[in-house]
Amino acid sequence: MSTLTLIICEGKSDAEFFEKILKEKFQVKSKIVDEQRKAEKILRNPTPPTIIFSAGGKPRVYKSIKNLVSKLRSEKSCVKIGFFVDENREKVFDRLVSELKQYIQQPCKFHPVKPKLTTSVDGEITVKFDVGTTITIHVYAIPESLETQLKRKFNEKIEEKLSLTLLENEMWFKKLCEKILEVIK
């Protein structure tokens, strides 16, 4: 079974950073989009590339993922979503689980059959449709804003040509790459 892969993050610079990691560290081609309808257009392709979607802020990132989970219900492929937000990890995970559960339970959102939502201790949320797709959401929270982390490291404004090798020893970067690998593998 084929897999659709989507990375959702908050902002444009985050998206560019993820694109760089995918390209340089994992040799994976990706496409950055800054509007959900553009992501949806790509997802209509039979074999879409990995999409990096910058939702444009924290409130939108939560709204978008609920909307996408709903729209992806009839997909035949498995769906893997990386959900990367600058926030406390538990807060992100709990909020996302709570919002998704609430969304799924709304009587008018999934008719006539609702999907099942399960969670795992290592930050995975699975939304499984009995006769449709299984959407696995890998949640990763960056304790401080990604931009702040990078600024601290380089003590300057983020530049496009930043070298990932300088980040290799950073714990947060290692974990981030592990999480990305879980999404794309």
Instruction: List interacting residues with other proteins (CB under 8 A).
Output: 35-37, 40-41, 43-44, 60, 63-64, 67, 70-76, 108-113, 129, 131-133
Q: How far is the CB of 55 from other proteins (least distance, A)?
A: 8
Q: How far is the CB of 113 from other proteins (least distance, A)?
A: 6
Sign of CA dihedral 57, 86, 64, 29: positive
Neighbours of 182 (CB within 10 A): 16
Phi/psi for 76 (5° steps) reads -85, -30
Is the CB of 113 or the CB of 166 nearer to other proteins?
Answer: 113
How is residue 89 written in tokens? 């990890």
Is the CB of 75 or the CB of 182 nearer to other proteins?
Answer: 75
Is the CB of 21 or the CB of 52 nearer to other proteins?
Answer: 52
In angstroms, the CA 181 to CA 185 distance is 6
Q: How far is the CB of 16 from other proteins (least distance, A)?
A: 19
What does DSSP say about strands 116-120 and 124-128: parallel, antiparallel, or unpaired? antiparallel
Q: How far is the CB of 151 from other proteins (least distance, A)?
A: 29
